């Protein structure tokens, strides 16, 4: 058994998942895993007793269990590669297909590895857009930024309110041999100009985008099929769905 190592987790409803992820990034900057549940998500980290205490302190609830021998292999099996169109996204220990554009993401530092339906939807829609300059709002681990650069978008800028996300984006850009300008930004400040914006963020943050961006095409996701945010000054031109999640394309009216 791995002495002192615990898997600690908390279950959060979908409505509060965005804030909970931000808290987990602060508590466990080395990384955490997310498991989709019927009525929400489970956020889990592998840590020690002090880390378990931090989780309980911030969330007021949680679950913990000793990690048994072989946990490293089980942790790896949790992160499976995905294929959408021309893109393959997966961890470095998986062998990618020879006929795909390959995006390698190390889940050890990533806050999003491409497996979540909203990320897959954005990856799908990026392949329908003519490559231009691109801004990735809420870049997280940089999956969308890296994929966009490999698809021919340039320049690519990734922004996030969390410094660990900027570090992860730059690491994954280097790992994949692409150039990305990653910057930390404030929650309400104006964002860099780009012809195309992709934003896999909360639905409320999506609705606030028009006041912060200067772009012609906007790809948005991070919300359920039942929600369809309208962007002031933009017309809705496309929608894709996967499971109970949705992504939309908006163009300047």
Strand intervals (E) in 189-232: 196-200, 217-224
Would you state the pLDDT for residue 1?
Answer: 36
Contacts of 3 (CB under 8 A, 6+ apart): none
Give residue limits of the domains in the chain: 6-75, 79-252
How many Å apart are CA 142 and CA 111, to the nearest integer? 9
Q: Kindly report, residue by residue over 230-251, the tens digit of the pLDDT.
A: 999 999 999 999 988 999 999 9
Task: Give me the CATH topology for the region 79-252.
Answer: Rossmann fold (3.40.50)
In this predicted structure, what is the pLDDT of residue 84? Answer: 94
Cβ neighbours around 204 below 10 Å, total: 11
Which ranges of the chain have pLDDT less than 50? 1-3, 110
Residues in the chain: 253
Whole-structure pTM value: 0.75
Phi-psi region of 127 (alpha: psi -120 to 50; beta: other; left: phi over 0): alpha
Give me the pLDDT at residue 21, please: 86
At 2 the pLDDT is: 42
- As a whole number of angstroms, the distance between CA 38 and CA 51 comes to 27
């Amino acid at each position: 058994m791995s002495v002192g190592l615990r898997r600690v987790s908390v279950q959060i409803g979908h409505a509060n998942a965005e804030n909970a992820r931000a808290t987990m990034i602060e508590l466990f900057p080395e990384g955490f895993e997310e498991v989709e549940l019927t009525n929400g998500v489970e956020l889990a980290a592998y840590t020690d007793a002090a880390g378990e205490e931090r989780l309980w302190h911030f969330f007021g609830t949680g679950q913990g269990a000793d990690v048994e021998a072989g946990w490293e292999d089980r942790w790896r099996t949790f992160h499976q590669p995905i294929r959408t169109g021309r893109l393959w996204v997966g961890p470095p220990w998986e062998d990618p297909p020879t006929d795909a554009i390959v995006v390698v993401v190390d889940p050890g530092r990533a806050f999003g590895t491409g497996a979540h339906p909203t990320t897959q939807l954005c990856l799908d829609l990026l392949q329908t857009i003519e490559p231009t300059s691109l801004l990735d709002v809420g870049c997280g681990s940089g999956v969308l930024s890296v994929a966009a650069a490999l698809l021919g978008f340039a320049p690519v800028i990734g922004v996030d309110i969390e410094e660990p996300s900027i570090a992860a984006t730059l690491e994954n850009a280097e790992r994949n041999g692409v150039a990305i300008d990653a910057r930390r930004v404030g929650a309400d400040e104006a964002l860099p100009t780009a012809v195309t914006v992709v934003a896999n963020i909360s639905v409320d943050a999506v609705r606030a985008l028009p006041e912060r961006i200067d772009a012609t095409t906007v790809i948005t996701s991070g919300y359920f099929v039942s929600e369809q945010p309208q962007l002031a000054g933009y017309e809705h031109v496309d929608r894709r769905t996967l499971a109970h999640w949705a992504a939309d394309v908006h163009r300047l009216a």
